[in-house]
Structure 1
Amino acid sequence: MTQTTDFKFADLFAGIGGIRTAFEAVGGECVFTSEWNKYSRQTYEANFPATSDHVFAGDITEVASDDIPDHDVLVAGFPCQPFSIAGVSKKNSLGRAHGFQDPTQGTLFFDVKRIIHEKRPAAFLLENVKNLKSHDGGNTFRVIMQTLQDELGYQVQTRIVNGKHFTPQNRERILIVGFREPNAFDIDSLELPESTRTVKDVLHRRGESDLAHDDGRYFNPRTGRVNPKYTLSEHLWTYLQVYAQKHRRAGNGFGFGLVGPDMITRTLSARYYKDGSEILIDQRPRPRRLTPRECARLMGFGDDFKIPVSDTQAYQQFGNSVVVPAIEAMAQHMRPFILDALTRPAAVA
């Protein structure tokens, strides 16, 4: 992690700190964090100990802008459930509104708007699911872009970035980057590497570096064995095979995702704790789930990242997080323009 800092940033809807990790790596100092989930906060605080020059708040809807320290960059992985395919499907099945009509999460974007309007950071980076662009026939995304560009007056660009360029996971997310002042930033000029990493690069292996903070919960490096609890039971494995066969006959694409060491995975989701079906490691006699440590690696977190919560909470947290090196690449791409903006006065909103 970079010791000297070149700019200050605020971390909204912070989760477990994936975006913070990325921006600290390119010289940022986090001065404000907001995260309401107590288990995510537990993981965040284990990895980012409290300091006197950092403010940690809960529900952002209850935080006045005056209580947020001034910052140069705002980052936010604002909640995507109202906009995601899975989230929309669930809410429709429950007869609940989604998107901007959602009474709980759909309006959280407007807290991003409120803070940008009142704090006027030099730049921002927002992250969301790819489906944000198509939600409600494109109306949701249109409102977001009109708000950021027309109401707030920022120069805004977007790009879909796939995490497979950095880790062995097919994970497409939209990144929305804005600058307060016009500049030559070009989001599409960021070159994405052709990754050769595959599943074997995230799996536990005999003799791997000491992970004392895992305390043997997931893996025994001396024997090379993963805890047997991650292997599917006969009942669950049979159920998943029958379920997949039924949907294949119906012409649907639903089913489990069985992966070998030289493959890449499907997208890790927050529901992974339920049955692990989207990413199953091929082994005999039955496949197994990834361990939480392997999920951390799949999302690009280093092995020094502490996992103080239960497996259920860890799976949800990593499934909701970002691919850290993908965000770091975009942060590095933004960095010279952020630093240049800090030498220029802010325009009147």
Structure 2
Amino acid sequence: MDHLTKEQRHKNMAANKSKGTKLEIMFGKFLWNAGIRYRKNDKSVFGKPDFVLRGSKIAIFCDGEFWHGRNWNIRKNDHKSNCKFWHSKIERNIERDKEVNEELRKQGWKVFRFWETEITVNPDVCLNEVLNYMNRKSTTDEKIAITKMCGGGKISMQMYGPHSLNEDGSIISFEEQMAIVSHYLHNQGNKYAKPYEIKAEGLIEDIYNIHQKKSDIQCVSDVCVQYSLFSDLFAVPFLPIEKPKFTFIDLFAGIGGFRMAMQNLGGKCVFSSEWDVQAQKTYLLNYGEVPFGDITKESTKSFIPDDFDILCAGFPCQAFSLAGKRLGFEETRGTLFFDVAEIIRRKRPKAFFLENVKGLLIHDKGKTIQTILKVLREDLDYYVPEPQIVNAMNFGVPQHRERVYIVGFRKDQNVNEFTYPTPTDTTKTFADIKEKNTVSAKYYLSTQYVKTLVAHKERHAAKGNGFGYEIIPDNGVANAIVVGGMGRERNLVIDNRLEDFTPVTNIKGEINRDGLRRMTPREWARLQGFPDNFIIGVADASAYKQFGNSVAVPAIQATAQEIIKRINLSKSKKYGTDRK
């Protein structure tokens, strides 16, 4: 007998949705976090599946137990009222599901149907069914190539297990899982592995069991097995130092300019963070480590080890909305500098090294730098000498790149003076970093684009402005390479070695015959001091962005050397443990 009135029952039944249910929203988030893009309830696909993956011809249905009749032969007797109506309705739903499955399979679709409790209780199992089907061509005896799996734009293979869930039941993104694993493997055997250890070993167990289609916890705990599973992490050009002189963390890491400089000096990176996916890919290809993502999240900060020596960060320049209100540390809340300062407060490194654009010194009429220095000196109690603008062209790269450096020392290091490095090499010109061989025609400007640049420069010249393109001679020094605006056009060069003027991209007009071209990504890498064995594994657009955002390695290295001279690298009392 129904205990609800007819009106109440009608209201309850009307509230049931046929699409956009909580269950679908939940599973949609799982798919999205796994890097799978889909269409919802695509009307052009028979049966309007809850999720459609057109590229893989996969149709996914999320079925509620009641409406789709799970264990119907047993549960049908649960209906105590209006049985004829409900039996007819649900049995018709069951038949319709079978008809939809059959028709989709005839059309070449792979159909997945997951019950509500399967999704809510074991979402990783449901996800892996889809992912394993998508990767069915991979063989079980392959090594697990993280450099292939974390491929930037499209992740070719992902795996999820019981350990890939957060405490709230949400899925840890695959990039973060690989960040945990790669940091653990590169720090295994020392105290800096501790924050990663428990989670990493669980994830490695999941990946091994799913990949090998068997469960063997004892085998997974074997170090040799772990290294063989992820051997590509150790087949990179710039592996961590085995017997480091000091340790550091790399925040806002980009493609690892700070890391390159610090490793050159004998340092070992024990934590890295970078939110840009394409930059993460370049970092992985060169250092064998996936950086953690958003450093503003407490979950990311929780993985930072204690007792490292130096904090490195090239943080963005942001105004402080509360600046001038004498709130000290709180003035910086909501900015990325706040996160840097908070990590310094918790972990108390022996020293820090911050880099920013030179405009920081005059940003917000000088209030920004005043607030930063006040926090570092007074609230965090570090010795901080006056910031200094350092030009990369004074340290062996032909690029006029001025950046402001801020360094600081913990008071127990007894540092009361600091001298920024003097120029070491001012002789380099573009000829020293120019491509040795003829470059692709795609770097040469079209005649139409040359006309546009000339007209643009003439318009600004008429107004008394100096904006516009610029040609760097072989014996000249490049302007600062930057992202956006006229970054590439301010660093054009003349190169008359091209003989085949057939366009390799869609251009207006034809390739100019004056030899006018952009610098290549490799030339930009050299302008920033990266060696030629640094892997550029992304498209040109991403490469220009990454090198334009990077620090100049030689200038960073020269300054870091002065920092290292002044800190005590012997073992000292621990800092950072349980500091909140």
Distance 1:138 1:343, change over 3 A: same
Once residues 324 and 347 of structure 1 are traced to their aligned partners in structure 2, the CA distance between those partners, rounded to angstroms, is 29
Aligned residues between the structures: 306
1:199 aligns with 2:407: no
Partner of 1:313: 542
Partner of residue 492 from structure 2, selected from 280, 291, 294:
280
1:12 aligns with 2:251: yes
Distance 1:319 1:47, change over 3 A: same
Distance 1:189 1:330, change over 3 A: closer
Aligned letter for 2:421? L
Distance 1:244 1:153, change over 3 A: same
Partner of 2:408: 178
Distance 1:342 1:152, change over 3 A: farther
Superposed counterparts of 1:241-280, under 5 Å: 241-271=454-484, 276-280=488-492
Partner of 1:132: 360
Of the two, which has the highest radius of gyration?
2
Partner of 1:116: 344
Deviation at 1:183, TM superposition (A): 3.2
1:9/1:72 contact within 8 Å kept? yes
2:251/2:313 contact within 8 Å kept? yes
184-193 or 69-78, larger mean C-alpha shift: 184-193
Distance 1:48 1:41, change over 3 A: same
Once residues 185 and 335 of structure 1 are traced to their aligned partners in structure 2, the CA distance between those partners, rounded to angstroms, is 14
1:79 aligns with 2:292: no
Distance 1:275 1:132, change over 3 A: closer
Deviation at 1:343, TM superposition (A): 4.9
Q: Cα deviations across residues 8-30 of structure 1 (Å, max 9, x unaligned)?
A: 11110000000011011111110
Deviation at 1:187, TM superposition (A): 3.6
1:292 aligns with 2:521: yes
Partner of 2:399: 169
Distance 1:327 1:17, change over 3 A: same
Aligned letter for 2:284? E
Distance 1:250 1:286, change over 3 A: farther
281-290 or 251-260, larger mean C-alpha shift: 281-290
180-189 or 277-286, larger mean C-alpha shift: 180-189
TM-score, normalized by length of structure 2? 0.50
Report the RMSD for the aligned CA atoms in angstroms: 2.3
2:257/2:552 contact within 8 Å kept? yes
Q: Cα deviations across residues 249-292 of structure 1 (Å, max 9, x unaligned)?
A: 111110112111100011000127x7721100124514111111
Distance 1:317 1:101, change over 3 A: farther
1:155 aligns with 2:383: yes
| 1:332 partner SS | helix
TM-score, normalized by length of structure 1? 0.82
Partner of 2:274: 35
1:237/1:286 contact within 8 Å kept? no
| 1:60 partner SS | coil
Aligned letter for 2:297? E
Distance 1:196 1:230, change over 3 A: same
1:230 aligns with 2:443: yes
Q: Cα deviations across residues 146-185 of structure 1 (Å, max 9, x unaligned)?
A: 0111100001122110011120000000110000125346
Superposed counterparts of 1:90-105, under 5 Å: 99-101=319-321
Partner of residue 305 from structure 2, selected from 54, 69, 76:
69
Gaps of 5+ in 2: 1-237, 323-332, 497-513
Say which structure is richer in helix.
2
116-125 or 3-12, larger mean C-alpha shift: 3-12
1:185/1:334 contact within 8 Å kept? no
Q: Give the percent of matched residue pairs that are identical in Structure 1 and Structure 2.
A: 43
Gaps of 5+ in 1: 83-98, 206-223
Deviation at 1:66, TM superposition (A): 3.6
Superposed counterparts of 1:318-337, under 5 Å: 318-337=547-566
1:128/1:174 contact within 8 Å kept? yes
Distance 1:34 1:63, change over 3 A: farther
Once residues 392 and 417 of structure 2 are traced to their aligned partners in structure 1, the CA distance between those partners, rounded to angstroms, is 20
Deviation at 1:101, TM superposition (A): 4.0
Deviation at 1:100, TM superposition (A): 2.4
